[in-house]
Structure formats: C-alpha cells, structure tokens
C-alpha cells in the first residue's frame, strides 16, 4: 500500500497549497499529489505532519565540512557521510563535498572517496566541488597560494574522473587558458569563476569559453567599479550565468544581495553555505593547512583575519533571505533547492515537489526551524 505525507502547506511551482498530500512510492519518488482527504482514505500509511511548511530539500553546492569534519583533512567516504549527516539536520538533502585547493594526490583521494560514497548510497552526496587550485593569488582568501597551478591535459583528466556524480570546478578564468576551460566542459564538468582577479574582459572571455557560474558572488573576486566592471559586473550583466551567494549577514551586505537579485533574471541566484566543520558541531575550531581556523560569534576567520568559509547552514540561509532580504519564504526555498538543482543539471531528478521526482523534502515549523527531512523518501527519523 502507498504511504503519504499529509497535514502541511506544500510548496509547488505556483506557490503554497493547503489540503494536499504527497503519495510516495517504494522507489523513494513522489508518485502523486492528491487531496489530503483522499490520501487519508486510500493510502496504506499516512504520516500527519501536523502543520508547517513542506519544501523541496535544500541543495548545497559548496560544503567544505560539517560535524567536526573538514573534507580536505579526511578524504574518506565515512567523512562525507558525517558531513552529510551534520547538514541534513538543517534541511540539506543534496550536497557537493568541497575540496579547498590542494595537491593532486589529495584531489585524487577526494574524487575516489566521492565515487565510493555515491556507489555505497551515502545519503545526499551528489558529486564533488573542486574549489581550486586553479585560482588567483591576489584573491586567494584562505586558500594556500603555494598550491595554485595551471592544469595541463593530464590534470584535467584527473580532476574530471568522477564517473557517477557531478563535478563542479571553481577556477580563475584569467589564470586558466580558454582551451583548458573548454576541456573541463567537454569532459562534463560544470565550471564556475571564483577567487579571481580577472578584468571584466577576462571574465567575459571565460564565460565565452564555458564558465557557467560564479562561486560566492562578491567574495574573492574583482569588484564592480565605474570604469572597470570587474568579475562582479560581468556576473551581474550576463543573463545566462548562475551566482551562488552566502547569505549570512557577514560575507555580503544585504543591499548588495538585493542588487544582485534585481540585476539577474529570477532563478539565477542560489544559496550556498561555504560551510566549515563547526556546522553541526560544538567545536568552533579546526585546522586547514596546519593553521588554526576559529569561529567567533559565528564568523569564521583564519589567523590572518581573512574570512575562511562560514558557520552557516542552509536553514539559516533561508531564514536570512526572509528576514534580511525581505523575500517570501517560497522564493527563499527555491533559492535553496530549485535553482541550485537547475544549476547542477538535476532539475529532472530533484529540487521541486512534483510527481515523478525524488522525494527529497524538508519540513519547517512556524519559526522556520527544521523538523524533519527526507532523502529519497527516507525520513531523518527513520
């Protein structure tokens, strides 16, 4: 007999609906959306959600760590699972473990760990995000510029070796030749510009070579100025590119985020956390490259005082969109789920609540706190 989820406000493509229930099949998909009363009468098992908002599960394309684990420091399937568990508590049902700039051997281990985690069915892992090491020293942030390099054909092949998931590569387009960018794209990678000192012209050339998006817009990139639009100007002007944003009230001023939302076509700006190990952990510190990184009052900095990722989770990012940016909850939810799914090419699988899609879901209470999540129809309480 079918099982159903009922008793919540359900976010569909055209907004929230009351008195609807989700019927789930045995494969973890949404089989149908039916009137609440019909589900209660005919479904074999009905879970009454007791109110709240039922949203598509959040998708985070930039997760460096969580649960006390930094991916760079532990490139294992077990570490990926621990990171996923930590973020699932905050509504994330799909994520890309993110490797900060490192050596080729570490990259190979990380790619192998992601391959193994996906093959083993670790909940939520979608692929890998290689944030560097093909970056600009002038915009390095907390990355180690001593590890930066220009990839050759052999390294492109290594970096795109994941054969059962998504590969997202962040690079500086002024540091990487256009033919190498095209090679990444030809091998199936999604390429984003980030940690870049490119001019506007260089950023546009990168877009022409296949750059699809921009990693943590405004941060670690050349700014918009009157006579030199920089990377930010190229990102805001380009209609087809995507922009990830960190909405924590620290990385970007709310006014700048509102400018981005006004400039870009709707759906082209999505949420990321750039989360570090303290998300889902009581320990505010960790080590990267042998250096202590600490969160103080929720702000993560390295020993030089530079921002070093965030202590942000996706549920908080959604709340911040509502409270700091004045967005409706339904649009904040789409920025956390629907739009990143489209950016990653997963719109036919997840990111929305619709018949035929995977039952990746998050239930928020009246205060927008996470009450329950489902990945492939399996509850976080199971």
Domain spans of the chain, in order of start = 3-51+352-379, 57-343
Please tell me the distance from the alpha carbon of residue 343 to that of residue 192, in angstroms, as a whole number: 11
Among residues 36, 102, 248, 274, which one is catalytic? 274
pLDDT at 381: 67
Other beta carbons within 10 angstroms of residue 240's beta carbon come to 9
Of 58, 54, 57, 59, give the one whose Cα is nearest residue 5: 54
Please tell me the distance from the alpha carbon of residue 284 to that of residue 36, in angstroms, as a whole number: 44
Please tell me the distance from the alpha carbon of residue 110 to that of residue 73, in angstroms, as a whole number: 10
Beta strand pairing status for 127-131 and 92-100? parallel
Other beta carbons within 10 angstroms of residue 213's beta carbon come to 25
pLDDT at 291: 92
Q: Note if 48 is an active site residue.
A: no
**Where are the alpha helices (H) located in the chain, listed in sequence order?**
36-42, 77-88, 104-119, 153-159, 178-186, 200-209, 230-237, 254-263, 314-323, 329-336, 338-343
pLDDT at 39: 87
Please tell me the distance from the alpha carbon of residue 326 to that of residue 328, in angstroms, as a whole number: 7
> Is 0.95 surpassed by the pTM of this model?
yes
pLDDT at 295: 93
pLDDT of residue 42 exceeding 90, the answer is no
* Residues across the chain: 382
41 confidence band (pLDDT: 50, 70, 90): confident
What value does the mean pLDDT of the chain take? 97
Task: Output the CA–CA distances (angstroms, integers) from residue 73 to 19, 64, 101, 110, in the order listed.
Answer: 47, 10, 12, 10
Task: Output the CA–CA distances (angstroms, integers) from residue 228 to 49, 102, 160, 197, 198, in the order listed.
Answer: 52, 31, 33, 12, 10
pLDDT of residue 382 exceeding 60, the answer is no
Half-sphere exposure of 35 (CA within 13 A, CB side): 3
CB of 33 closer than 8 Å to CB of 78 = no
- What is the dotted CATH code of the domain comprising 57-343? 3.20.20.140
Q: What are the residues whose beta carbons fall under 8 Å from the beta carbon of 282, sequence distance 6 or more?
A: none
pLDDT at 1: 58
User: Fold for domain 3-51+352-379?
Assistant: Urease, subunit C; domain 1 (2.30.40)
Tokens of 309: 């990722």
CB of 204 closer than 8 Å to CB of 182 = no
Please tell me the distance from the alpha carbon of residue 236 to that of residue 225, in angstroms, as a whole number: 12
267: left (phi over 0), alpha (psi -120 to 50) or beta: left
pLDDT of residue 372 exceeding 80, the answer is yes
pLDDT tens-digit readout, 196-244: 999 999 999 999 999 999 999 999 999 999 999 999 999 999 999 999 9
158 confidence band (pLDDT: 50, 70, 90): very high
| Cis peptide bond prior to 51, omega within 30° of 0 | no
Mean pLDDT of 93-108: 98
Mean pLDDT of 73-95: 98
């Amino acid at each position: 007999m079918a099982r159903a989820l009922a008793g919540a406000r359900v976010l569909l493509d055209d907004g929230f609906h009351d008195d609807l229930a989700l019927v789930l099949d045995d494969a973890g998909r949404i089989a149908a959306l039916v009137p609440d009363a019909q589900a209660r009468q005919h479904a074999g098992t009905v879970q009454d959600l007791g109110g709240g908002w039922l949203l598509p599960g959040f998708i985070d394309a930039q997760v460096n760590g969580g649960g006390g684990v930094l991916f760079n420091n532990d490139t294992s399937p077990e570490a990926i699972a621990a990171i996923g568990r930590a973020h699932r508590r905050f509504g994330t049902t799909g994520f890309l473990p993110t490797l900060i700039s490192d050596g080729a051997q570490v990259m190979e281990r990380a790619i192998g760990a992601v391959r193994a985690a996906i093959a083993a069915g670790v909940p939520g892992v979608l692929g890998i995000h290689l944030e560097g090491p093909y970056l600009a020293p002038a915009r390095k942030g907390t990355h180690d510029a001593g590890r930066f390099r220009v990839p050759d054909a052999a390294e492109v092949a290594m970096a795109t070796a994941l054969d059962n998931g998504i590969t997202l590569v962040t690079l500086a387009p002024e540091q990487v030749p256009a033919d190498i960018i095209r090679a990444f794209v030809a091998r199936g990678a999604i390429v984003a510009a980030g940690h870049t000192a490119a001019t506007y012209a260089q950023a546009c050339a990168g877009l022409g070579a296949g750059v699809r998006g921009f990693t943590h817009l405004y941060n670690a990139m050349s700014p918009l100025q009157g006579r030199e639009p920089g990377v930010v100007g190229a990102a805001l002007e380009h209609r087809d590119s995507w922009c990830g944003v960190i909405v924590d009230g620290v990385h970007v001023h709310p006014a700048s985020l509102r400018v981005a939302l006004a400039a870009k076509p709707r759906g082209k700006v999505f949420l990321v956390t750039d989360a570090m190990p303290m998300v889902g952990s009581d320990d505010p510190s960790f080590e990267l490259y042998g250096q202590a990184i600490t969160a103080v009052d929720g702000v993560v900095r390295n020993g030089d005082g530079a921002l070093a990722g965030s202590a942000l989770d996706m549920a908080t990012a959604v709340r911040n969109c509502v409270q700091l940016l004045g967005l409706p909850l339904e649009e904040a939810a789409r920025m956390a789920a629907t739009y990143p799914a489209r950016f990653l090419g997963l719109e036919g699988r997840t990111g929305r609540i619709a018949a035929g899609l995977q039952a990746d879901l998050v239930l928020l209470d009246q205060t927008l706190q996470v009450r329950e999540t489902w990945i492939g129809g399996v509850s976080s309480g199971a």
